[in-house]
Chains A and B, each alone.
Chain A
Amino acid sequence: MTEITEVNHNQFRVVIVGHVDHGKSTLIGRLLYDTKSLPDGKYEELVQICKSRGTDALEWSFVLDAFQAERDQAITIDTTQIWFSTQERDYVIIDAPGHREFLKNMVSGAAAADAAILVVDATEGVREQTKRHAYLLSLLGLRQVGVVINKMDMVGHSSETYAKVSKEVDDYLQSIGLSANYIVPISAREGDMISSRGDAMPWYKGKTLVDVLDAFEYDSPPLSRALRFPIQDVYRFGEERILVGRVESGSLSKGDKILFSPTNEEAVITNIKTWPTDSSKVTAGAGEVTGITLDERIFVERGHIGSHTTNPPMLSNVFRANIFWLAAKPLKVGNTYKVRYATVEATVTVQSIDLVIDTDDLGQNEKAGEVGKNAVAEVTFRSQDMLPIDPYTDNQKTGRLVIYEDYDIAGGGAINMEGYPDQRLTSQPKSENIYMVDTLVSDETRIELKGHAGGIFWFTGLSGAGKSTLLKLCYMELLATKGTVTLFGRPARDIGRDGVAMVRRRVGIVHQDCQFLDHLPLLENVALPLTVSGQSTEAHMEEMRELLGWVGLASKLRALPPELSGGERQRAALARAVVMSPDVILADEPTGNLDWEMSLRLLTLLVELNRMGKAILVATHDLNLIRQAKSQVAARVLRIKDRRLQLAGADL
């Protein structure tokens, strides 16, 4: 092998965006000319073209047209790549022509760009496409952005105009979490501040555009982050089993103990495999593709993520994502899609569309039922399986996903886990001291459900303290012998027997023992409240499927209750409790028979219901569960002690 002295001569990828007619093409033409990147004879041809069209002024955008015609035979429908060089390095300009397929093509080209140049017309300032493009850059994770204020010759090279437009652009960029690394006043037509400074704007002391480009940096692999090694494949060559993949962040070394998610299996790296064999290779860092062997034959397959035992990815079967949607068919609640991130592949159901943002005017809509083509949205997805997940803010490589529809990529986005718990099966949390504050609430405490709509309450207390009794009072299975229970603004005593049906329609109940009819399939069991109230299951079939998908039982519609596991039965019970769209959900020891992992899954569902505005009352003796709940949602913990209801302290 010959030693290469040159360290870095890679192409730097730049995407140029901006409102139509703000001068993108002119800028590219000028840039090619100024950096002497035009093919021989092209300049003379340009002069000729301009003369033949009766203009003495050079129309630089013709360069691009002619250049593209030559390269692409006038097909400018897709991302086009244009090469040029400065004295520093080689560049590829990714030019996505302003077209109705713009987003699809821009995403394909610009997602891999190292930096972006946003072109803004000095005479017009920020326009809707300026905003839209900038917004997409931020969604795509581009962080190096240069702004050029173009057509300075049209505003008399005024420093005031430059300052005004600069502020306008900068304010907008900041509002979407971007910041302009540089803002350069240019005239692409005159060639000012492109590669040479020119004489027209002596007041500007900053970099020229070419200097700005040269000052951008290559994206360096996230070496200092926590290790993420998504398994791409497992090769069995003879006796040896090699796990291959790309180190997405951090680094791994021979001798490291690796934790695999979601299986929670651990093993030690015995070797880092190379070909041709290089025994001095003992470490692989972010960006490297590599292969490892392990000391134990644990179960590992494509899609599992290797990490160190500290700072592993979260585990969850529900997550939110800020997405952009490219397909003609809209994304809808209840639809099932395949998503991929790193080497992880999962089938997910759209549980909710939380926000739709119009990329034209950035208008926000919380009520949209679907995400249409070229729209941007916040969406909550649910998977049947537990997934290893990194929020995008923690890991930009593993924290972004693409969504497939049929055979093609239909969208992409950044994963956001705000408010969702890590569901990793950990050793049981340490027991902590429990403080009670027993003066705040007296036995006159009224449970005014209406007044607390949307709250989440935990009842705890020793066995026999009266937790179940209290819940029974709330759905009128019992009537208070003393004191007053107020339900939906009316004293329970006044509601009487006739009003019970009304109350029960507004209250969903999850029992300790699930109380299913064993001879009926799951679907009919869950639909029972509908049937009882005289509605047909058929009419609600779609909602029923959606509901069962939400609790992860879409594939068990026809199963009989005895065929279900404890966790499945409990989730089914929750589905049954919400089938009538109640305002309040009461759950009596819902996790009583479940292991910790299943308990967390159920908890996640309860928290989601609470986010949808339901009031939740849970009676449980499981303090670990309550702590977990408090870490993700504002919850009040009430303890029944000595026949009094007490508000438990914040330290629980």
Chain B
Amino acid sequence: MHNYLDELEAKSIYIIREAYNKLNPLGMMWSIGKDSTALLWMVRKAFYGRVPFPVALLDTEQEMDEVYAFRDRLIKEWDLDCINQMCPPEEDMDQTLPPNTRAAMRKTEGLKLLLQEHKFKGIFGGIRRDEQGLRAKERVFSPRSIDGSWDFKDQPPEFWDQYKTEFPEGAHLRVHPILHWTEKDIWRYHQREGIPFCDLYLAHENDKGEMVRYRSLGEKNLTFPVPSKASSIEEIIQELETTNTSEREGRSMDKETEDSFEKLRARGYM
């Protein structure tokens, strides 16, 4: 083992292979962002260049054009079986939710459709503990009931790399192989491995002539860039060494009410 990135990677690949052995059919949520693309890279390492299950984009048709272009490029280059799962319209969402949270709920409903159609027993997600307090509570193999809800108040124990792999008919497991990574780790890994990523993460001029970049990629109506001059991975990492703001700073739905994110997660959000 050379350095800590190898350790993080080894742990992730072990989890990926556990899920592949235990859960069938298996799928993966691929948001096209830096995290799930790094995860996809590790999937290819785990299976010697192959991606032996479908990857799915929960499509609200609100992703940025650059994101769609990047998706199409990787599908071709990496020979991906990509499911483009259309999400139900916003009018169908629970109207009591704040507007942006409601918009984010579309993904949750899209995910439900995806699970119904493909009957996945396990689905990989590229979330990390350091992103948000509630995600810090996640397990690696995290059970979801039939309606997709998450009982974060009573989670099964998980330790010594032994996971929950059995569950009642109709439920499924969310598998989180990069839960133990941080934002900085992901970028250092991108840098070391030369993993492709969407240009929107690098500083570019917005229509007001300011230099901005996206720290986190989401739908255009919900995600906003942050001021930044970082135009390379090295500079992104430098920037992260000093920043005091949160990664999901540019995600509007997290902040609408104190418990927006909790509501989203409990109802099955990633």
Contacts and interface: CB of A to CB of B under 8 A. Distances in A.
Interface of A: 1-2, 4, 6-11, 39-40, 68, 70-73, 75, 77-81, 83, 101, 104-105, 107-108, 111-112, 221, 232-233, 235, 237, 242, 244, 246, 273, 275-276, 285, 287-289, 291, 302, 326, 340-341, 400, 402, 404, 407-409, 412
Given A4-B192, A232-B17, A289-B17, A408 B10 contact: no
Interface string B147-191: 000001111111110101011100000000000001000001001
Nearest to B129: A81
16 contacts: A10-B4, A70-B133, A73-B133, A73-B259, A73-B262, A107-B159, A232-B21, A237-B50, A275-B48, A287-B10, A289-B17, A404-B166, A407-B168, A408-B157, A409-B157, A412-B159
Contacts of A1: 192-194
Contact of B153 (A6, A75, A221): A75
B265 to A, nearest CB: 11
Given A232-B17, A287-B7, A78 B48 contact: no
B49 interface: yes
Given A7-B3, A407-B164, A78 B17 contact: no
A1 B160 CA distance: 32
Contacts of B156: 407-409
A11 B134 CA distance: 19
Nearest to B258: A73
A393 B259 CA distance: 47
Q: Most chain-B Cβ atoms within 10 A of its Cβ — which of A72, A273, A275, A289?
A: A289
B248 interface: no
Given A1-B193, A80-B137, A407-B164, A108 B48 contact: no
B251 to A, nearest CB: 16
A346 to B, nearest CB: 13
B197 interface: no
Given A78-B152, A235-B47, A273-B48, A10 B137 contact: no
A484 B47 CA distance: 75
A409 B10 contact: no
B167 A10 contact: no
B47 A407 contact: no
Contacts of A9: 4
Given A78-B137, A78-B152, A287-B7, A326 B1 contact: no
A7 B130 CA distance: 21
B5 interface: yes
Given A77-B153, A407-B164, A407-B166, A246 B10 contact: yes
A75 B263 CA distance: 13
Interface string B254-270: 00001100100000000
Given A72-B133, A81-B136, A4 B191 contact: yes
B136 A71 contact: yes
Nearest to B20: A233
Contact of A402 (B14, B134, B160): B160
A275 B259 contact: no
A398 to B, nearest CB: 11
B44 interface: yes
Contacts of A108: 139, 155, 157-159
B58 to A, nearest CB: 25
A111 B259 CA distance: 30
The 7 A-B residue pairs whose C-beta atoms are closest, nearest first, are A71-B133, A111-B159, A10-B4, A408-B156, A402-B162, A72-B133, A275-B48
B48 A291 contact: yes
B137 A72 contact: yes
Given A235-B47, A409-B157, 15 more contacts: A1-B193, A6-B3, A7-B3, A10-B7, A40-B244, A75-B137, A78-B155, A80-B133, A81-B136, A105-B157, A246-B10, A275-B45, A287-B7, A340-B162, A408-B157
Q: Classify chain B's interface size.
A: 35 or more
A271 to B, nearest CB: 12
B13 interface: yes
A211 B125 CA distance: 38
A2 B44 CA distance: 20
B159 A408 contact: no
A326 B48 CA distance: 39
B18 interface: yes
Interface in B1-43: 1, 3-8, 10, 13-14, 17-18, 20-21
B157 to A, nearest CB: 5
B52 to A, nearest CB: 9
Nearest to B155: A78
Interface string B222-247: 00000000000000000000001000
A246 B3 contact: no
Given A71-B133, A81-B136, A221 B160 contact: no
Nearest to A339: B162
A340 to B, nearest CB: 5
A228 to B, nearest CB: 14
B51 to A, nearest CB: 12
Given A10-B4, A237-B48, A402-B159, A244 B17 contact: yes
A68 B262 CA distance: 14
A275 B9 CA distance: 13
Given A4-B191, A233-B21, A289-B13, A409 B158 contact: yes
A282 B194 CA distance: 23
A446 B157 CA distance: 58
Contacts of B137: 72, 75, 78-80
A71 B18 CA distance: 31
Contacts of B17: 232-233, 244, 289
Contacts of A273: 48
Nearest to A248: B161
B245 to A, nearest CB: 9
Contact of B3 (A8, A68, A104, A111): A8
A358 to B, nearest CB: 20
A80 B136 contact: yes
Q: Most chain-A Cβ atoms within 10 A of its Cβ — which of B5, B44, B139, B158?
A: B158
